[in-house]
Amino acid sequence: MDYQGILNVIEDKIQGEKLQGNVASYIPELAKIKPGKLGMHLTSVIGEEFHFGDSEERFSIQSISKVFSLTLALLKEKDEIIWERVDVEPSGDPFNSLVQLEYENGIPRNPLINSGALVICDILVSHLDNPKKEYLEFVRRIAGNATIDYNERVAASEKEEGFNNRAMINLMKGYGNIHNDVEEVLDFYFDTCSISMSCRELAQTFVMYANQGKLLKDQKRVLSEVHTKRINAIMQTCGFYDEAGEFSFRVGLPGKSGVGGGIVAVYPNMYSVAVWSPKLNEKGNSTAGMRALELLTEITGSSIF
Ligand code: GLN
């Protein structure tokens, strides 16, 4: 497959379509990003790399980090305990919604919305001596890149404004589903969201989920095949909040978005791909990012469906 030729066609089309959307502004530090950025990078499971545009520029991965958090939690805690505290159903609600928590006794619908990620962060705080340090070491290990880091300004900016997340974690604490100090878990959650990575770095990290849970560089296994299947399944059904159905319908791959404008998608046994464009639609997903991935599966004539 001529992926580079296809990516070039996608870049031309997207530039011509002048897609609308707004940069996330509820985290003040993110509102400063230039809206016109566009980059894409595809890493195949045999190690080929294809890209265009701003694919090397780092941006705030935000909710994409929820996949790393879940991965690390699955390595640290028994499945039965995790899935008692977080469900695996699509929410059909916005990423920051509290409504379902009340009639579901503080059990979040899935680990890829804020409430679910907060419970996963609580599990990690229980298991790690130094969560912030060990989390970053884990991300660096699966990325094969020791320069990946938190963006302290983004984390601080969200800590100042994170009223909704604070309400959510307190509600879950009331139901007994948060075991540690709420401020400690919140701080850790905001740190995880603040990690900066480029499309290239994201594609090279997520290729593990396309490669049956093994790192590409040395084929070392990080995740079992069962866990890899489960994470891809959760990305497929829950990776885009109340637009998970739309993403499945248009793109047909497991994926995860973040309000920094990044989207990663995984084609098991084929490739991982990351795209970045900061203008978001009303559901908080990158408008051009969704379009680029839709074009990718349409032009290649190939998706998991
Ligand atoms: N840090 C963001 C928040 O908690 C992540 C949201 C997202 O990327 N959808 O609101």
In terms of domains, do 74 and 164 share one?
A: yes
Distance 216 CA to ligand 1 centre (A): 29
Domain end: 164, 193, 222, which one? 193
Residues 89, 92, 95, 99: what is their CA dihedral angle, to the nearest 10 degrees?
Answer: -90
| Domain total in the chain | 2
Query: Is position 305 within any domain?
Result: no
pTM of the model: 0.98
pLDDT in tens, 249-304: 999 999 999 999 999 999 999 999 999 999 999 999 999 999 999 999 999 999 99
In terms of domains, do 153 and 221 share one?
A: no
Q: What share of the chain is helix, strand, coil (3-state, %, to 5)?
A: 50, 10, 35
CA geometry: angle at 34 spanning 28 and 40, to 5°? 115
Task: Kindly report the CATH number assigned to the domain that includes residue 25.
Answer: 3.40.710.10
Domain end: 168, 193, 218, which one? 193
Query: Is position 247 within any domain?
Result: yes
pLDDT in tens, 1-28: 899 999 999 999 999 998 999 999 999 9
Question: 247 vs 18, 79, 171, 207, 241, CA distance in Å?
Answer: 20, 27, 30, 19, 10
In terms of domains, do 114 and 132 share one?
A: yes
Domain end: 154, 170, 193, which one? 193
Establish whether residue 155 lines the binding site of ligand 1, counting it when its CB lies within 6 angstroms of any ligand atom. no
In terms of domains, do 108 and 17 share one?
A: no
Give me the domain span that covers residue 219: 3-59+199-300
Helix (H, G, I), strand (E, B) or coil at 169: helix
Helix (H, G, I), strand (E, B) or coil at 59: strand
In terms of domains, do 35 and 77 share one?
A: no
177 annotated ligand binder: no
* Sequence-ordered list of residues with C-beta below 8 angstroms from that of 76, at least 6 positions apart, any chain: 123, 124, 127, 128
Query: Is position 181 within any domain?
Result: yes
Query: Is position 160 within any domain?
Result: yes
Query: Is position 117 within any domain?
Result: yes
In terms of domains, do 39 and 87 share one?
A: no
* Sequence-ordered list of residues with C-beta below 8 angstroms from that of 54, at least 6 positions apart, any chain: 37, 38, 39, 199, 276
Distance 26 CA to ligand 1 centre (A): 10
189 annotated ligand binder: yes
In terms of domains, do 97 and 167 share one?
A: yes
99 annotated ligand binder: no
Determine how many CB atoms are found less than 10 A away from the CB of residue 56.
12
In terms of domains, do 52 and 68 share one?
A: no
Distance 47 CA to ligand 1 centre (A): 31
Establish whether residue 248 lines the binding site of ligand 1, counting it when its CB lies within 6 angstroms of any ligand atom. no
In terms of domains, do 83 and 52 share one?
A: no
184 annotated ligand binder: no
In terms of domains, do 70 and 37 share one?
A: no
Q: What is the pLDDT along the chain (305 residues), one digit of tens a residue?
A: 899 999 999 999 999 998 999 999 999 999 999 999 999 999 999 999 999 999 999 999 999 999 999 999 999 999 999 999 999 999 988 888 999 999 899 999 999 999 999 999 999 999 999 999 999 999 999 999 999 999 999 999 999 989 999 999 999 999 999 999 999 999 999 999 999 999 999 999 999 999 999 999 999 999 999 999 999 999 999 999 999 999 999 999 999 999 999 999 999 999 999 999 999 999 999 999 999 999 999 999 999 99
Pocket test for ligand 1, best of 158, 185, 282 (most atoms within 8 A of CB): 158
In terms of domains, do 32 and 147 share one?
A: no
In terms of domains, do 162 and 222 share one?
A: no
Residues 106, 109, 113, 118, CA torsion sign: positive
